[in-house]
Each structure stands twice: as C-alpha cells, then as structure tokens.
Amino acid sequence: MTVTATAPPAADERLGKPRAMDQLIKRPEIGAMLGALLVFLFFSVVTEQFLSVGGAATWLDDASMLGIMAVAVAMLMIGGEFDLSAGVMTASTALVTALLATQLGLNVWLALLVSLAFALAVGALNGWLVMRTGLPSFIVTLGSFLALQGLNLGITRLVTGSVQVSGMREAAGYESAGFLFASTFQIGGTSFYVSIIWWVLFTVVASTVLMRTKFGNWIFAIGGAAQSSRAVGVPVVRSKILLFMTTAFAAWLVGSINILRYASVQANQGIGLEFQYIIAAVIGGCLLTGGFGSAVGAAIGALIFGMARQGIVYAGWNSDWFQLFLGVMLLAAVLVNNMLRRRAERVRR
Amino acid sequence: MTSLIETENIGKTYGSVIALSDVSTVVNAGEVTCVLGDNGAGKSTLIKILAGVHQHDQGSFKVEGEEIKFSSPREALDHGIATVYQDLAVVPLMSVWRNFFLGSEPTTRFGFLDSKKGKAVTRKALSDMGIDLRDVEQPVGTLSGGERQCVAIARAVHFGAKVLILDEPTAALGVKQAGVVLKYVAQARDRGLGVVLITHNPHHAYPVGNRFLLLKRGRALGSYEKSEIDINELTRQMAGGAELEALEHELRGVEA
C-alpha cells in the first residue's frame, strides 16, 4: 500500500479505516481459510482417524470431487451467473461415456471425447440461452437441470431397461483411461485417489486465469457490472458463454472420474449436488450477486465440506448433524461476504 | 480541418416511437460540444448512437469526414470515441488499476496480466490529470462519485480517445465535486480531445462549452456557438422559456 507524499484532503477520511479490513476485502478466501483451520483442529482433537494418513486420504478425496465443481461454479458466480444443471451434468457426462462404451462398443477414449463435446455443447447452450433471452440464469439452468434429469433417466431406461449403466470394465481403453482419471498413488503406504491431483490442478489453473489474465479480469468485470464492461469493449456474451462451458467441462471431468472409478453409473446421480457447489463457492467468499470471489476460496470451501462430512462419520455421530453444520456455515459465510461487499461498494459523495 | 464528429439530420426510432429526429451538430478537436435537454429529450439516444450502442436510421453520421455506422461500442472505441456513462463508468468491486485497464489489459510476453506495469501506468496517468489517489489497489467503490468519474475520464484520455463523450458526469455530484470533474473536462479539451458533454445543468455546461445543442422531445431546439448566447438565455431556453413563465404564473396563483 503506497501513500503518496501529498495526501489530498479527501484522503483524510480514508485514513481512519482499519488496515486488516482492507486486506480482507482483497482476499475473499480468508474467512474460508479460518473456517477450514477450525474444522480441521476440531476433528483432529475429537476423533482419532481424522488426522491419520488414511483419514486424510478419505476427506481429501471427498473434497476433491466437490472441489473441482465448486471452483468452476465459483468462476461462473464471479461472472454473475448460476448453473443449476451442474450437478446433473456430472451424471449426464458419465452416462454418455458409459452408454457409448458399453452399448455401441466404442473405445473409452473416443467415448470420453464425444462426452466432452456433449458437455461443452450443453454448456454453450445454457450460456447462449441466458444471454439471448436475458432471463436470470437461475431459471434457465433450472430448466436445463430438469431437462437433463429427464433425459438421463429416460434414455438410460430406454437403452438398458434399467436405471443404471454398468460393465465399463470390459470396454476397450478402460485401463488406460482409468489410469488418467481414477487411479491411486501411494504416500506413506496409503492410497490417494488421483482426483485430488485433478482438483489441485484445476484450482491452480482457475486461480491463475482469474487473477493473472485478461480473461480473468473480464470475469470480475462482467459479474460486477456487465453494462460498464461492455461499454469499455469487454466481450460480455462470449465471456459468459465460455464460463458456462467451463462448468460443463468440470462436470465432464467429475463425471469421467466417477464412471472410470466405479465402472457403473446411476441415472439419478448428481441431483442436489448443484447446491453443494454453490454453497462451497459462497463459503469460499463468492458473492451471490457476482463480481467478487476466489477460486482458491471455493476449493477451501469444498475442503471444509469434505472434512466435516468425513469428520462426523469418524466421530460416530449421525450424519444428520452435517446438514445443521452446513446451514450454520452458509449463513455465517453469507453474512461475512455481505459485510465485505458493503464496505467495498459503499458510495461516498 | 474536418470535424471529429459531424451529424446531419440524424434520427432514430424505436418501433413507432421517434426518439430522435433531425439533429445536426459537430464536435471539433479541442472543443466542448454541450448537449442540453430535460429528461426524455433524446440526449441518451444521441450519445448512444455516437458511442455505437445503437444505430441511427436517418441522416448521416460522419467520423473524421467518413460516413459511418457502428455495430458495437468496441468499434466506436477503435475509432477513438470513448464514452463515460453516469452510473456505469466503472466496476465498483474492482480495484482502481484493474478498472483503468479493463478491456485493454497490459500483458507480459507470456500472456499474463502485467500488474506491476498496470499499477505504475495507472498512477502516472491519474497524476498527469492531477488526480491524486492514495492507492490504486483499493476498490473503486470506495472512491467518491467525482473521483470515479475522474478515473473514467483519465482512462479514456490515456487510451488515446479522440472524442470523449460524458453522460451527465456531474448529475449526482455535490457542487465541489462537480467543479473538480469540470476541471478535468477542461483539461481533456486542452489536450486536444473533442468532448461531448451531456448535462441538464446550464451552469455546468456554460463555463466549459464552445457549442450548445439544445434538445427537446427528440428534436433540436437550437444550436448555438458560445458567442451567440449567454448563460441567462441558455438557462431560459433549457427550462422551456415561455412554458416556465406560464408555470411560474400558475404557481403564484396557488400561493395567493
């Protein structure tokens, strides 16, 4: 923070502001970090398995699957939009891959590629519909959420006669694709899923894009004030459509990890997860109104989720308590975020 | 010398609504053209045409002597026409320097944002305009309304705008802040930019303006050089002249 030699008279009012708060405004993930630390310490003390390597492998894996999506959803939320179809998309992509590989006998790699194209097309359609109609993305993606849910069940039942697709293990290319998406690696004699690496990688890339690139600057701008951004030449429509395609890509990644790990997929999977993604993003410092947030924060939000969900299991409590915990966390996060925004947006004349 | 902008009998209709018709004006380098009018007079429609947000459907619109029809604000920007809107000049939650470079971000060789350069250039450009900010990393939302306008004006000047369109820059400001903004308008003019100043306050327009275009109900009520009109006449015309006198008479009737 630099202070110019000759402070203008107007600056005097600003000098009274506490420094710590200024820093918080710049780092939206601070609150989530603090929360994560608390949850970590709490379950480390209360339970025995939590701090063990095996325990860590479990809650990190839980957090990773949620985290990949939460990070993508956070980018979209910073860009000022929601995607309610994100949860169901993880099932849709897995189903497309599984049906192509098991029913048509396609090589798994080829099936994954088609599934990726499908995901990107749905994402682009979501984005295009939102921008074209000018309707809130909440409503548009609620529509695509229901449509995809219906398609998942309908097509799966039509093709297989049941509501699940299995038998991936026999498909050509399952081993090599599985290595990339669903293998494990050893640390201290304990297996960690490779999804954790995908999660970290995705977070690093997303955060770099957000903070260090032109496009990242545009994401914050279109979420904060789309009209102003357009007026200075930011391609608002293209950027938003790209963000919807990013969440679709993340859903494809998670769907692929799922199908290759479990070799089967339920047609009704993924429903309800979309809210968990949004909650993780909000806990990580994203504003519901857009224009503010962090990818790292969303990843930490997912970490809190994973730690609490598994911690409660280790503690031997009923999992009902997880929902209570979630509700309290969400409310606390929204209150903190709101306060930060009011500080940043306060208009002085 | 050709004018930076010249419109001749320009007009725009939205369906059956005639928002603007038969408006002619010029904007020259180093001069301020003021557009005055009450709410609904067509000021916004006119500047939106100049800024590339809307397209005109009558008359001619020339930029540096060349007939033109912009398809987007980006295209207008590429022709050196920058617009600063009243409410949407900046993105409040973003830092000053990120706002300053929005849409024209500086990048390093590897395509990443060059934040060091961004901050330094922002600080320099702002201080060149005489704007002294403590910290270019603070969110723009923490600045006062006048300071925000100034950041937006400095941005337009820095990125080589030839024409600066200001939409009611002083509307929401106090007397002192409005004075500061007008100072920067004059500064931009003295740097050789053509300025279009939209306002409904003749007291703000008169000191900096070279030319005054009065609009009413989508039509030009009159266009004057500064030498042809004084502030009282400008105010009278703006307020609706005879109409206001009638209203005054009526109000006196109420009092009595």
**Structural domain of A214:** 48-339
Asked if B170 and B204 count as a contact pair (C-beta separation under 8 A), the reply is yes
Closest CA to A182 of A75, A92, A91, A64: A64
CB neighbours of residue B243 within 10 Å:
9
The pLDDT of residue A5 is: 43
- Report the number of distinct structural domains present in chain A: 1
Contacts of A289 in chain B (CB under 8 A): none
- Mark out the alpha helices in A225-345 (DSSP H runs): 226-231, 236-262, 273-283, 295-314, 320-345
Q: How far apart are CA A232 and CA A25, in angstroms?
A: 25
Query: A59 and A233 in contact (C-beta within 8 Å)?
Result: no
Q: In chain A, which residues have their Cβ closer than 8 Å to the Cβ of B93? A: 220, 224, 287, 291-292, 341, 344-345
> Looking at the domain assignment, is residue A215 inside a domain?
yes
Residue B146 lies in a domain: no
Reported as a single tens digit per residue, the pLDDT across A331-342 is: 988 888 887 777
Q: Which residues are A186's β-sheet partners?
A: A191
> CA-CA distance, A254 to A68, in Å (whole number)?
7
B89 in contact with chain A, both atoms CB, cutoff 8 A: yes
The answer to the question of residue B214 being in a domain is yes
pLDDT(A24) > 70? no
A213 close to B (CB below 8 A): yes
- Average pLDDT on A110-138 reads 96
Task: Report whether pLDDT(A19) > 60.
Answer: no
Please identify among residues 215-254 of chain A the ones whose CB lies closer than 8 Å to any CB of chain B.
Answer: 216-218, 220-221, 224-225, 227-235
Query: Each residue of A127-149: pLDDT tens digit?
Result: 999 999 999 999 999 999 999 99
| Within a domain: A59 | yes
> Is A141 within a domain?
yes
The complex's ipTM works out to 0.78
* Amino acid A188: pLDDT: 81
Of B91, B115, B127, which is closest to A221 when you measure between CB atoms?
B91
pLDDT tens digit sequence for A187-222: 888 899 999 999 999 999 999 999 999 999 999 999
Can you tell me whether residue A87 is helix, strand or coil?
A: helix
Domain presence at residue A293: yes
Q: Per mean pLDDT, which range of A27-41, A129-143, A262-276, B219-233 is the poorest?
A: B219-233
Q: How far is CA A95 from CA A199, A267, A291, B149, in A?
A: 22, 7, 34, 53
Q: Is residue B209 part of a domain?
A: yes
Asked if residue A200 belongs to a domain, the reply is: yes
Q: What's the burial of A311, exposed, middle or buried (CB within 10 Å: 0-12/13-18/19+)?
A: buried
Distance CA A167, CA A327 (A): 39
Contact B134 A291 (CB under 8 A): no
Q: Which residues in chain B land under pLDDT 50? A: none
Q: Can you tell me the mean pLDDT for A300-320?
A: 91
For the cut 80, the answer to whether the pLDDT of residue A272 exceeds it is yes
Does position A97 have pLDDT exceeding 90, yes or no?
yes
Does the pLDDT of residue A11 top 50, yes or no? Answer: no
Mean pLDDT, chain A, integer: 88
Q: pTM for the full model?
A: 0.82
Whether residue B212 lies inside any domain: the answer is yes
* Structural domain harbouring B21: 5-91+160-255
Torsion, Cα A275 A281 A284 A285, to 10 degrees, reads -110
Whether residue B106 lies inside any domain: the answer is no
Whether residue B112 lies inside any domain: the answer is: no
pLDDT bin (cut points 50, 70, 90) of residue A26 is low
- Which residues contact residue B87 at a Cβ distance below 8 angstroms, ignoring those fewer than 6 apart? none
Q: What is the mean pLDDT of residues A272-295?
A: 92
Q: Is residue A176 part of a domain?
A: yes
Which of B102, B170, B177 should be substituted to probe chain A, the one whose Cβ sees the most A Cβ atoms within 10 Å?
A: B102
Partner-chain contact B142 A14, CB within 8 Å: yes
% of chain A with per-residue pLDDT over 90: 69
CB contact under 8 A, B103 and A349: no
CATH number of the domain where residue A82 is located = 1.10.3470
Cα angle for residues A257, A259, A262 (degrees, 5° grid): 100
What pLDDT sits at residue B87?
67
Residue A349: per-residue pLDDT: 36
Q: What are the beta bridge partners of residue B215? A: B37, B220
Residue A211: list chain B partners with CB under 8 A: 113
Question: Mean pLDDT over residues A163-185, rounded?
Answer: 91
- A290 — phi, psi (to 5°)? 85, 170
CATH of the domain at B228: 3.40.50.300
Q: How many domains does chain B have?
A: 1
pLDDT at A167 over 50: yes
> Which sign, positive or negative, has the C-alpha torsion B59, B61, B66, B69?
negative
* Residue A52 in this model has a pLDDT that exceeds 60: yes
Over the stretch B195-246, which tens digit does the pLDDT of each residue have? 999 888 888 888 888 888 888 888 888 788 888 888 888 887 777 665 666 6
pLDDT tens figures, A175-194: 999 999 999 998 888 899 99
For B95, which DSSP code?
A: B
Whether the pLDDT of residue A45 is over 90: the answer is yes
pLDDT reported for residue A197: 95
Taking contacts as CB-CB distances below 8 angstroms, the residues of chain B near A345 are 92-93, 139, 141
In a domain, B10, yes or no: yes
Q: What is the pLDDT of residue B74?
A: 82
Instruction: Give contacts of B 121-140 with A, CB under 8 A.
Output: 127, 132-135, 137-139
* 3-class DSSP state of A257: helix
